[in-house]
């Protein structure tokens, strides 16, 4: 039987530990996997585009486990009460090819994105960073805030969203979090004086959320929202004057902020910084950018973390036949039904 983790189970787990503890544990898994980056099969995600959205598969394997995520991106969905991004995925045993776990990954993707952002910032931001500008206060924003508090001790956040209701929602959700929140008047105002600036907007356009002059010396920019062709958030001039770090160069040149730059624009893969093979920040005044698009290994780490976190009796699915004689698949049809029902 294959274990199933639905929305309700995952919510129970995150509530029981608290989001910051859950995310901190997840960071350990993502970082462990980034440090053994070369052990993984890697491929850019396989996308099926339509006029109004995209459906993608994101597989990877470390030779022992295989994981993949199904994820959609439909910016128009909220108009009909649906989520822009939903996801689910599976973990399988490479030795047998059998699936072990099917899980919801809408919530898990928000958690792993926040975990990866904070992991990158811990490696790239100034160690004394305590303030963050947070531009875009949609579905991912609170997860980002909790992750940065948990990993870097961020305790003051300036928020901005073109939709005031999104800022209201953020403030309501973060009440009691111990983070002091300021409502900024613009993206530039949110970035003003911030040690770290996170951009996590949703428009599927080449937007310029921040201009070069908006970002002060020594800032770490956590650029999360630019994550598919034709969807960017940053002024190209910011990238020209910064050190840019990416997950997987081949995919980021298609999907990230660096799709605006020449094909030979210098970037450093984050795993090299985490494993000591490349330098991160080299001075207090340098601007560092994590041009995040989300990569399959992060989902793999999240599924692995989830699988290792399961305890007690779990829900299971009869997804794979269990046969006395594995060469007699047809025989299933002649077995009495009563003996099969789980």
81 or 276: CB nearest its own copies: 81
Q: What is the dihedral of CA 196, 303, 22, 269, to 10 degrees?
A: -20
Residue 186 per-residue DSSP state: S
281 or 304: CB nearest its own copies: 304
Which residues on neighbouring strands pair with residue 69, listed in sequence order? 58, 89
Question: Which residues are annotated as catalytic?
Answer: 227
- Residue 150, CA distances (Å) to 27, 41, 160, 177 in order: 10, 31, 21, 11
CB of 55 to its own copies, least distance (A): 5
Element (H, E) at 12: helix 7-17
Residue 34 · residue 304 · CB < 8 Å? no
CB of 214 to its own copies, least distance (A): 25
Give the residue carrying structure tokens 């599924």: 303
CB of 163 to its own copies, least distance (A): 8
Give the residue carrying structure tokens 């045993």: 93
49 or 279: CB nearest its own copies: 49
215 or 302: CB nearest its own copies: 302
d(CA 321, CA 306): 24
Q: What is the dihedral of CA 44, 102, 106, 303, to 10 degrees?
A: -60
Please say whether the dihedral angle defined by the alpha carbons of residues 166, 171, 174 and 179, taken in this order, is positive or negative: positive
CB of 279 to its own copies, least distance (A): 33
CB of 158 to its own copies, least distance (A): 19
Side-chain-side CA neighbours of residue 89 (13 Å)? 31
Burial class (CB in 10 A: 0-12, 13-18, 19+), 175: exposed
CB of 235 to its own copies, least distance (A): 26
88 or 245: CB nearest its own copies: 88
61 or 219: CB nearest its own copies: 61
């Amino acid at each position: 039987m294959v274990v199933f983790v639905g929305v309700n189970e995952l919510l129970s787990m995150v509530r029981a530990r608290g989001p910051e503890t859950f995310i901190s544990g997840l960071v350990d898994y993502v970082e462990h996997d980034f440090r053994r980056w070369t052990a993984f099969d890697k491929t850019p995600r396989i996308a099926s585009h339509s006029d109004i959205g995209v459906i993608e598969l994101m597989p990877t394997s470390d030779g022992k486990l295989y994981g993949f995520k199904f994820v959609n991106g439909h910016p128009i969905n909220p108009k009909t009460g649906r989520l822009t991004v939903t996801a689910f995925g599976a973990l399988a045993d490479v030795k047998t090819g059998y699936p072990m776990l099917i899980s919801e990954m809408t919530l898990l993707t928000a958690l792993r994105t926040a975990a990866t952002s904070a992991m990158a910032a811990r490696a790239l931001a100034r160690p004394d960073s305590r303030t963050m500008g947070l531009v875009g206060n949609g579905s991912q924003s609170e997860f980002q805030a909790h992750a940065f508090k948990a990993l870097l001790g961020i305790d003051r956040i300036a928020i901005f969203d073109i939709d005031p209701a999104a800022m209201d929602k953020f403030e309501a959700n973060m009440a009691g979090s111990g983070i002091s929140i300021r409502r900024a008047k613009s993206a530039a105002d949110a970035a003003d004086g911030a040690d770290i600036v996170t951009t996590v907007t949703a428009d599927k356009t080449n937007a310029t959320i921040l201009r070069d002059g908006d970002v002060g010396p020594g800032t770490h920019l956590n650029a999360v929202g630019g994550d598919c062709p034709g969807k960017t958030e940053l002024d190209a001039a910011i990238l020209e004057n910064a050190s840019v770090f990416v997950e997987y160069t081949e995919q980021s040149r298609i999907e990230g902020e660096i799709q605006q730059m020449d094909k030979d624009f210098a970037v450093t893969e984050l795993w090299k910084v985490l494993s000591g093979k490349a330098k991160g920040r080299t001075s207090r005044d340098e601007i560092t950018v994590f041009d995040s698009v989300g990569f399959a290994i992060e989902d793999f780490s999240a599924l692995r973390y989830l699988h290792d976190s399961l305890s007690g009796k779990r829900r299971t699915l009869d997804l794979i036949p269990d046969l006395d004689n594995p060469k007699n698949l047809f025989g299933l049809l002649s077995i009495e039904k009563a003996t099969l029902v789980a």
